[in-house]
């Protein structure tokens, strides 16, 4: 599997992958074009000669202020906006001591807020060995700065601990999940085959100050796709990820976690039955409405065509599955509030990458589409955020910087 982050490496790796996956190549044309283009960071005005690490995350604080985290060199910077992303204050530094940081779309820094309002920032720190890493987390100190970051997991071998996701559950527990290859390593040591990687998670009971020992969620996850996290209607953590079902179907699995982070059940969530021995670098997203409906977006090949899909996950079935956008739509996100559902994605039209949104007022039964923005340079994956019952799109582009768009 390929290491993401460098546009040149991504282009080469996706080219090899597309040769095997066949019909999926058109769906990734937009991603390759956009991520390969150099540009400025939108804040300092510095040019990136060969790569644009634009992976960013954003979240609204309890006071309604929008916070965004991005990588700058060996640091993560936190920006604050009082006008929902139209302008930004001078940034604060999350990690005082510089270190390697992954900052591509599938493996970017994350931000959330603990029950006491403290900002939490997680990221993957690459290690010297290829594809290895550690999952790091820093907690706000209440004075505008951050405490020194900690490594979330107890396993400190120089192996894959990457593609972290961060969630604060309804009861205030902090959950960090990631892709982990300790079981692949163990299987290889005894000559046993092992599909993909594994999913692990660790839980904090003190707002991110410390974590319990990690727990395995499932064997045989895909190796390089982001993990979707959401809270169920009762506040319990949910994980949705690309899974490698025997012998090589790359569909999605869903797990609901217990208080200690252990999975209560792992079930198949999508049924496109994509057979491919490669990782598409294209993870899902998940949102749960107040009535318990699980809204999801994901990328798969179905009937020979690679597309982004939207659907509602119900008791081991998919309801209302349909393609989202055109054949070059990519990296969608989803949010739900009451009976309203919002979707965002980006799509390359041959010249520009466009940001689209769809809104539903009837629980996902029907949607109204709108175009929000466009860029000619490099761009990150778009996110969709909630502030109360209001939706906002968040997009980091090389030319326009960090931007918020009210829906």
Q: What gap in Å lies between CA 391 and CA 407, rounded to an integer?
A: 6
In a domain, 44, yes or no: yes
Q: pLDDT tens across 373-382, in order?
A: 999 999 999 9
**Domain range enclosing 38:** 7-406
Return the CATH number at 80.
2.120.10.10
* Strands (DSSP E) found in 5-95: 57-60, 66-72, 75-81, 92-93
In a domain, 246, yes or no: yes
- Give average pLDDT by consecutive 10-residue segment, the chain, 407 residues: 32 38 36 30 34 91 97 97 96 98 95 98 97 97 93 97 98 98 97 97 98 98 96 97 94 96 95 90 96 97 92 95 96 96 97 98 97 97 97 97 97
Q: Please say whether the beta carbons of 404 and 392 come within 8 A.
A: yes
Domain tally, the chain: 1
Q: Which residues make Cβ contacts (< 8 Å) with residue 240, sequence separation at least 6?
A: 227, 228, 229, 230, 252, 253, 254, 269, 284, 285, 286, 296, 298, 313
- The pTM score is 0.88
In a domain, 1, yes or no: no
Q: Please say whether the beta carbons of 239 and 179 come within 8 A.
A: no
In a domain, 88, yes or no: yes
In a domain, 361, yes or no: yes
Residue 278 confidence (pLDDT): 83
Residue 393 confidence (pLDDT): 98
Angle at 182 between CA 203 and CA 282, to 5 degrees: 75
In a domain, 151, yes or no: yes
């Amino acid at each position: 599997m390929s290491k993401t982050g460098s546009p040149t490496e991504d282009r080469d790796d996706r080219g090899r992958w597309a040769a095997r996956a066949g019909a999926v190549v058109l769906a990734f044309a937009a991603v390759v074009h956009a991520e390969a283009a150099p540009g400025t960071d939108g804040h300092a005005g510095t040019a990136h000669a060969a790569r644009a690490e634009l992976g960013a995350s954003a979240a609204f604080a309890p006071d309604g202020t929008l916070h965004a985290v991005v990588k700058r060199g060996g640091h993560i910077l936190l920006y604050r906006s009082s006008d929902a992303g139209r302008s930004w204050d001078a940034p604060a530094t999350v990690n005082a001591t510089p270190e390697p940081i992954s900052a591509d779309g599938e493996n970017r820094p994350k931000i959330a807020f603990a029950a006491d309002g403290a900002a939490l920032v997680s990221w993957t720190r690459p290690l010297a060995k290829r594809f290895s890493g550690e999952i790091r987390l820093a907690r706000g100190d209440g004075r505008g700065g951050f405490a020194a970051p900690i490594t979330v997991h107890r396993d400190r071998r120089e192996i894959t601990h990457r593609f972290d996701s961060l969630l604060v559950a309804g009861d205030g527990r902090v959950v960090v999940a990631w892709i982990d290859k300790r079981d692949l390593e163990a299987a290889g040591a005894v000559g046993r085959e092992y599909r993909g990687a594994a999913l692990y998670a660790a839980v904090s009971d003190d707002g991110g100050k410390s974590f319990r020992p990690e727990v395995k969620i499932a064997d045989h996850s895909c190796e390089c796709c982001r993990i979707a996290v959401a809270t169920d209607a009762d506040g319990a953590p949910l994980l949705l990820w690309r899974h490698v079902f025997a012998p090589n179907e790359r569909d999605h699995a869903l797990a609901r976690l217990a208080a200690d982070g252990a999975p209560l059940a792992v079930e198949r969530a999508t049924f496109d039955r994509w057979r491919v021995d490669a990782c598409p670098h294209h993870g899902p997203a998940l949102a749960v409405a107040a009535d318990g409906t699980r809204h999801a977006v994901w990328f798969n090949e179905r009937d020979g065509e690679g597309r982004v899909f939207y659907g509602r996950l119900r008791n081991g079935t998919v309801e209302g599955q349909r393609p989202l956008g055109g054949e070059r739509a990519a990296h969608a996100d989803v949010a739900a509030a009451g009976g309203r559902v919002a979707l965002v994605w980006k799509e390359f039209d041959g010249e520009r990458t466009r940001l689209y949104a769809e809104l539903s007022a009837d629980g996902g039964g029907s949607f109204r589409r709108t175009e929000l923005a466009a860029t000619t340079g490099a761009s990150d994956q778009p996110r969709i955020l909630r502030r109360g019952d209001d939706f906002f799109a968040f997009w980091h582009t090389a030319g326009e910087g960090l931007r918020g768009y009210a829906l």
